Structure 1
Amino acid sequence: MINLGVCEAIFSSLKSLRVLDLHGKGLHIVLSSICKLKHLRYLDLSWNYQIEKLPDSITRLPNLHTLRLSYCNGLKELPRGITKLVNLRHRYNDGCENLTYMPRGLGQLTGLQTLSKFVVHFDSAPKDGGRLSELNRLYSIRLGELKISELRHGEDVAKDANLKKNEHLQVLRLRWSTKNVDAQDEKASEGLEPLPNLKKLYIDYYGGVRVPMWLLSLANLIHLSLGNCRKLKYLQPSSRLRSLKSLYLNCPDEMEYVSDCSDNNDFSSSSSSALIEFFPSLEVIRLQWCPNLKGWWRTSDSSLLPSFPRLSNLTIRESLC
C-alpha cells in the first residue's frame, strides 16, 4: 500500500511528470492535489478496489491522454466535469461493476477512441447523468462493452440507442427494470439491435414472450445469458447461432420448450438423419429454475432429436441459489 504522503510529494515536486502508474497500490482515495500535474498524459489507477470517487480536480489535467480505471470495483461515479478533459483519447473502466451511470457531456469528447464500458441507469441516475444519445456523437470510439440498466418496459429506446453504429462492441448487457414487468418488450427491444459481430449477450428482466428477432442475426455470438425473463416462452429456432459455445437460462417461469420448432422450417425436409445438429459449437448449457420445462423443442415430428456434438457441461438446477 502506497503512502498518501508519497503521492503528495510527487504532485508537489514533479510537476512536469508525464506518466503516473499507481495501479494496484491499495489506494482508497485520490488526492485532489493531483491537478498540479498539468503535463500528465497517462494516469493508471486500475486495481485499486477501495476508491469510490475521483476528485473533481482530475478534470483539471488538460493534457491527459489516457485514464485507466480498470477493476476499481468500489468506484461508484466519475467526475461530472469530464468535458474539460479535451485531450482524453483512452478511458478504460472495464471491471468497474459498481458504476451506476456515466456523466453528461461525454459525447463532447469527440477525440475519445477507447471506452471500455458505458453504463446507463435510467431511473436512479441524477438529472445530469449521461444518456445513450451521448454515444451517437462519438464516431471514432472503440466501445468494447455496453451495459444498459433499468430499461423501462414497453418503451422504445431506438432513437437513443443506435447500437449498430459501434462496430467494436463485443459485450452487450441489457437489464430491464424489475417494476411493471407485465408490459411486452418485443417491439421496444428492436431498437437495441447490435452489429452481428457481438460476442457476448446478457439479457435480464426482459418482459417479452420471445427474444428479440435480431438475436438470430448474431452469427458470431459465443455466449448467451437470459436471466429472470419470466414471461419468456421459447427461443426462436436458433440453428443460425452456429458459434454459440455457452447458453445460460435462469428463471424462465413460463418456458415449456427451449426452442419452438413446430414448423421445422430450420431443417431440411430431405434430411435422412433423425439427429439434428442444433448448436454445433455449444459446449455448456446451464438451466436454473425452469419449473414448466417439458423438453428442448416442440416439434410435429417426434423422431427428430437435437444433437449437440461438442456439449461437455450440462447443469440443471431445480431451485434458486
Structure 2
Amino acid sequence: MLIVAQGGGIDREAAILAASLRRNAPGFRGRLIVAEPQPEGAWAGTDPRMSGAARAALTQFGAEIRPLVAQDFGESYPHGNKIEALGLLDPGRPFLFLDSDTLVLGEIGAVPFDFARPAASMRRTNTWPEPPAYRETYDSIWRSLYDRFGLDMDGSLDLTQPEEHWERFLYFNAGWFFGVDPAEFGRRLRDWAVAVRDEPGEALACQSLDPWLDQIVLPLVVHSLGGGRPGPELDGMDGDVTCHWRNLPLLYARGPQRAIDEVEAIAALPEIAPLLDGWEPAQRLIGDGLGRRRIQPMFAHDDPAPTEQSLRHRLRQAELWLV
C-alpha cells in the first residue's frame, strides 16, 4: 500500500490513515509505504518534508518511509507526487495507492482485488473535460488521447450511457488505484502525463490540465493494462472499507457516521493528538464539537445529497469552511 506524505498537513492526514489501518484492519499483511518528497529535484527551493512528530507517528503505526526525489512534477504540480512515487515500490509486486486523506474502516486486506485487472475510484463527477461549444466533444477529446497512445477507446466505453454523456467515457478519481506491477504502471503514468502536459494537442488546447492531469492519464493507463471500471466486489472501497474524507468540514457534511466516529477516536490517540495542536479545523470541529453540533444538522435532511459546490458554499456562508 502506497501513500504520499509531506509537510503542510498532508503528513497529519497520512498519520491518521496509518492509525486507521492499524485499528481497523488487524488482518492486513501487506506493507504501508510512505513516499516523502525531498527538498531537491523538482522540489528544490522548498522543503516539503514531514514534521518530526508526523514521522514518529507513522513509524509507530508500522509505516515504512521512503524518500522521493521528484524529477518531473514537484512544486509545479504536487499531484504528480503520486505518479513519481510508484517508482519507489518493488517491481512486480501488486500495489494499492491511497490518497493520504483516506480512512481505512475495515479489513482492506480482505478486499478481493484482481491486481491483473487494474481499476480506480469511481467517486468522481464530471470535472474534466469541459468541451467548448461547437468545437470539440467528449468523444473527440478523449479519442485524441486514446489515439495518441495507440489505444482502442471503443473498448473502454460504457455503452449503457448516452452518446456525449460524460459517464460513457472511462474516468476515475485518482484517490485510489491498483495494479499488478508498480514499475510498468508508474512508467506509463509518468511518461504519458509528461507528454500530455508538454504537448496537450489541439483537442486539449482549451482544457485545463491542473489539477486534472493525473485523472486524465489514469484511465488511459488502466485501460492499456487490461483494466477498467471496478466491479461490485470492490464496493467496499469508498464504502464500508475506505472513506476518502477530503477535509473535516466535508466529512461532517456528508461523511458516514462510522467515519466521523473514527476520526474523532483517532484524534484522541496519544500518537495523533500532538499533531492536531494549532490545527483550527480539528480544534473547533472536533474539540469544540461544532462538527456534530452545527455541520451535521445542516445537511441531515438533504435529499438528494447536495453537490460539493453547494456544500462548500453553505459552509462558507456559515463560517464553517475551516481547512
TM-score normalised to structure 2 length: 0.25
Q: State the structure with more CA Rg.
A: 1
Using the size of structure 1 for normalisation, the TM-score is 0.25
Q: Which has the higher helix share?
A: 2
